[in-house]
Structure 1
Amino acid sequence: MKSNERVAFITGGVSGLGFGIARAFSNAGFRLALSYRNEAYRAEAEQWFADNGRELPLFLKLDVTDRARFGEVAMEIDAHFGRLDVLVNNAGVSVFGPTDEASYADYDWIMGVNFGGVVNGLVSMLPLLKRTGPGGHVVNVASMAAYLSGPQAGIYTASKFAVRGLTESLRYNLAPQGIGVSLLCPGLTRTNAWDSAFRRPEAFGDSGFGELDRAALTQFGTAFDLGMDPLEVGEKTLRGIEANAGLIFSHPEYAEDFREIYEASLAALPDEPAPEGRLEIERLRREGNRAAASGRTISIADLT
């Protein structure tokens, strides 16, 4: 199918990484639906499409934690385009603070947006994606934090680990239907993602992280000026979709980290024999995963 016949929906698609992905898709001829919350960002995005002589996206105001509105958005996309070929669950928040001091509000907000927003996108949009038929694709945007943890981003890291696990499992479920699934894990990208704490909703205002240190956070934000151009990440995302890659890494600078993870993981395994029964169960699990990845539907009956 030609790109100019395909439709992509990108949450948080009018700024930052989402807008980089949107521009890459538009350059490739996709028709677009983009969700947004900030009117100024929406206006800037609309101007880019107009200046470049592109079809204007279907702009949809959406808080990704609002399940009822997500359902309405699915119906609006269906009514406008009659199909959905690519779903990009991108919208998220980056919030930092010591995990041991976090409040329930910190957990509820960060997990609600970063993981819950992906869940809401899947539940709301997969019926239309499936109805459109084989060849569709889901991209769930995580972060290198889906692999790398640190002392100041515990809840953010937990949310991205959760997105990673969900995405890897979903790929097995949708392969038999001819729908691809990718996990996108970008590194440092030139966006305003660092300033999420400035836009924290009042409903989640009871933070355990203490009073916001605006000067320190703004200084931290200068690191993002060194990040990759969001358009480049978007172009790599598109190439990953076309290759049906399960994992899309956009940044090359993490070999040392993955080597350490690999070596530490192997070293943590007990150096002792495992009983034949357990070895057989793990063999069946691996065989089932390979079969699912190749397009076969696997049930729990295949695992024993």
Structure 2
Amino acid sequence: MSDWQGRVAFISGGVSGLGLGIAQAFSDAGMRLALSYRNEDYRASASAWFAANGREEPLWIKLDVMDRAGWAAAADAVEAHFGEVHVLCNNAGVSVFGDTAEASHADYDWIMGVNFGGVVNGIVAFLPKLKAAQGKRHVVNIASMAAYLSGPQAGIYTASKFAVRGLTESLRYNLVPLGIGCTLVCPALIRTNAWDSAFRRPAEFASSGFGAVDKAQLEQFGSVFQAGMDPHEAGTKIVAGMSAGAGLVFTHPEFAEDFKAIYEDSLAALPDEVAPPERLEVERMRREANKAALAGKAITIDDLS
């Protein structure tokens, strides 16, 4: 029997793409599901998968992840329906590309609002439910390899994923002492329709500095996603990482060259000089506090001075 059998999980954007792949893998592991959605067709297609595979029907919750009141209502609805909530998976996001030097406030507000703000909203709404629940619990935040690898056409998207990475890595130190696991997931190319986010841009964020969407150009770019990993496969890897208590899950293996370059560039950027003893002591205390947190100690600011 899976160690997740009977656990209740909420997944934002869980009806298509990677979100559906995660939902399928969570269902494989015996979890009971609540899935947020916005598109009725995607919800219907996801529902058909659960029915065809003899799985329990998820609780469907229509949600805009930028809507804080909607998140609060969703958390209450999941608790009311299932009794306890054990797993939060912040998955919903938008993939929007363009020259960052031309970006408008609307570009920043939309992309950061969904990709980072949506994660924040999920944490604020659902963490009290997880804290109140018993047994095995977990927070999973879906970032991207863009949380490590920057590029010229995805500046705001990259910033949002760097932010999710930083938040999740820090949050883990706070959650482990509470008995709640916390995993950052950084997938790469997945066989999804994530590339078409620009077609679904809300009217209130219409003033883009990226210019009008070139449909043919974007569809050509979208063809690249057909080479991506199957979402269900990625979801299965995420469950395996959660079960192992991993703080970080990379679903794709093809980035050793990039990480080698990051490592070498980072070391080369450090000044070639000896740090004074008092600064070395501060960093020693920081490292020890981090280790203690992951070993189960609640860290306060007193542990850092």
- TM (norm. structure 2) is 0.99
Contact kept, 8 Å, 1:49 with 1:55, in 2: the verdict is: yes
CA distance in 1, matches of 2:162, 2:3: 34
Deviation, structure 1 residue 208: 0.2
1:29 aligns with 2:30: yes
Matches within 5 A, 1:61-100: 61-100=62-101
Deviation, structure 1 residue 53: 1.1
Which residue of structure 2 aligns with residue 260 of structure 1? 261
Contact kept, 8 Å, 1:133 with 1:178, in 2: the verdict is: no
Deviation, structure 1 residue 28: 1.5
Which residue of structure 2 aligns with residue 115 of structure 1? 116
Which residue of structure 2 aligns with residue 187 of structure 1? 188
1:101 aligns with 2:102: yes
Q: Which amino acid aligns with 1:201?
A: P
* Regions of 4+ moved over 2 Å: 1-4
Which residue of structure 2 aligns with residue 5 of structure 1? 6
SS of the residue 2:219 aligns to: helix
Query: CA-to-partner distance for each residue in 1:164-184, whole Å, 9 max, x for gaps?
Result: 000000000011110000000
Which segment drifts farther, 254-263 or 209-218? Answer: 209-218
Which residue of structure 1 aligns with residue 249 of structure 2? 248
Deviation, structure 1 residue 134: 4.4
CA distance in 1, matches of 2:135, 2:111: 33
CA distance in 2, matches of 1:22, 1:270: 46
Deviation, structure 1 residue 48: 0.8
Contact kept, 8 Å, 1:8 with 1:85, in 2: the verdict is: yes
Aligned CA-pair RMSD = 0.8
Gaps of 5+ in 2: none
Which residue of structure 2 aligns with residue 219 of structure 1? 220
Deviation, structure 1 residue 54: 1.0
Gaps of 5+ in 1: none
Query: CA-to-partner distance for each residue in 1:78-132, whole Å, 9 max, x for gaps?
Result: 1000111111000000000000100000000000000000000000000001111
Deviation, structure 1 residue 264: 0.1
Deviation, structure 1 residue 135: 2.0
CA distance in 2, matches of 1:247, 1:229: 20
CA distance in 2, matches of 1:212, 1:2: 46
Identity of aligned residues (%): 69
CA distance in 1, matches of 2:32, 2:43: 16
CA distance in 2, matches of 1:77, 1:19: 18
SS of the residue 1:265 aligns to: helix
Deviation, structure 1 residue 3: 3.2
Which residue of structure 2 aligns with residue 271 of structure 1? 272
